[in-house]
Structure 1
Amino acid sequence: MSTILGFDFGLKRIGVAVGNTILRQAQPLAILGAESNDAKFAAVGELIREWQPALCVVGLPSHPDGAPHEMTQRCRRFANQLHGRFGVTIALVDERYSSAVLGKRQGERIDDRAAAIILQQYFDEHAHF
């Protein structure tokens, strides 16, 4: 059994979800809302040390037609930093509609649930590990 962490990267918050290769079900885990980049990566590092994931899945946003936008490159950079700082294997997953699926209400924080949708999509698309 291997643990997998899923990330919904945002400039203000990072949603985190967890799942494993046996159950293949993603669960919301945390919303990290630190101000500085160093504080965000410190919080991410704590989760990685605690959960010891075999893989980290990062949502990759794009326009509805698949074209990249500003956040696409930022998410790629975040994924590269996860790999570089913590030595974890990374998978990128198309997250175009993860937040829309949740039907966000005003003021509601859904970042951890969006991360769970991203991670569940990874499980659903990868039948073997």
Structure 2
Amino acid sequence: MARIMAFDYGTKRVGIAVTDPMQIIANGLTTIHPKDILEFLKKYLSTESVGTFVVGEPKQMDGTDSQSAQHVRGFVNLLNKNFPDIPIKMMDERFTSKMASAAILQSGVNKKARQDKGLVDTVSATIILQSYMEKISF
């Protein structure tokens, strides 16, 4: 079975999470700079099978696109162009950063680690992936 890979896309960092090959557990993978995403994915996909990409869709409280939605659309186009055989699913990412920060705080990590924005992005991608997995399990 192929993994599912999720992205919390931002103009400064991209949080990435993946499932195990059986698609049971969502795990944070890494956070990288957007300019390095294609190189990273090509290398990752040369050794691992990914069947679906899940991209966090930035929305405002009223459900309309947020300001960063245009950047996410550009990222989705980049994925489609470079990996046309991997379907892309969009997942509402409202509140994932706040949920990630709360989860990190509850985990008991030290203050310096809690201030690592890359960690927040990776955990946010994991929350997006977990939400997607819950959605498709019904």
Same fold by TM-score greater than 0.5: yes
Q: 1:22 to 1:44 in 2, by over 3 A?
A: closer
Equivalent in 94, 97, 106 of residue 115 of structure 2: 106
| Map 1:55-66 → 2, pairs under 5 A | 55-66=52-63
Structure 2 contact 6–129 (Cα < 8 Å) conserved: yes
Structure 1, unaligned runs of 5 or more: none
The reply on whether 1:86 has 2:83 as its aligned counterpart is yes
Match of 2:126 among 116, 121, 129: 116
Number of residue pairs the alignment of both structures matches: 125
Q: CA deviation at 1:20?
A: 4.2
The structure 1 segments of at least 4 consecutive aligned residues displaced by more than 4 Å after TM superposition are none
Give distance in 2, aligned partners of 1:32 and 1:91: 21
Q: Match for 2:40 among 32, 38, 43?
A: 43
Q: Percent same amino acid among aligned pairs?
A: 30
Separation of aligned partners in 1, 2:42 and 2:10: 17
Corresponding residue of 1:68 = 65
Residue 11 of structure 1 is matched in structure 2 by 11
**Which whole-Å deviations, capped at 9, do the CAs of 1:88-113 have from their partners, x for residues lacking one?**
21101000111110226434431111
Asked whether the 8 Å contact 1:45–1:86 carries over to 2, the reply is: no
Measure how far apart 1:11 and its partner are: 0.5
Judged with a 3 Å threshold, the aligned counterparts in structure 2 of structure 1 residues 80 and 91 are, in CA distance, closer, same or farther, namely same
Structure 1 residues 12-35: Cα deviation after superposition (integer angstroms, max 9, x where no partner): 11111010473432100011126x
Say yes or no: does 1:22 pair with 2:17: no
Task: Give the structure with higher Rg (CA).
Answer: 2
Q: What is the distance in 2 between the residues matched to 1:63 and 1:127? A: 26
Return 5+ residue gaps in structure 2 as ranges. 103-113
Instruction: Give me the CA root mean square deviation.
Output: 1.9
Q: TM-score, normalised by structure 2?
A: 0.80
What residue identity is the alignment partner of 1:9?
Answer: Y
Q: Distance in 1 between matches of 2:64 and 2:99?
A: 20
Q: In the alignment, which of 40, 50, 55 is matched to residue 53 of structure 1? A: 50
Q: Distance in 2 between matches of 1:108 and 1:93?
A: 21
- Identify the range of structure 1 (40-49 vs 2-11) with the bigger mean alpha-carbon deviation: 40-49
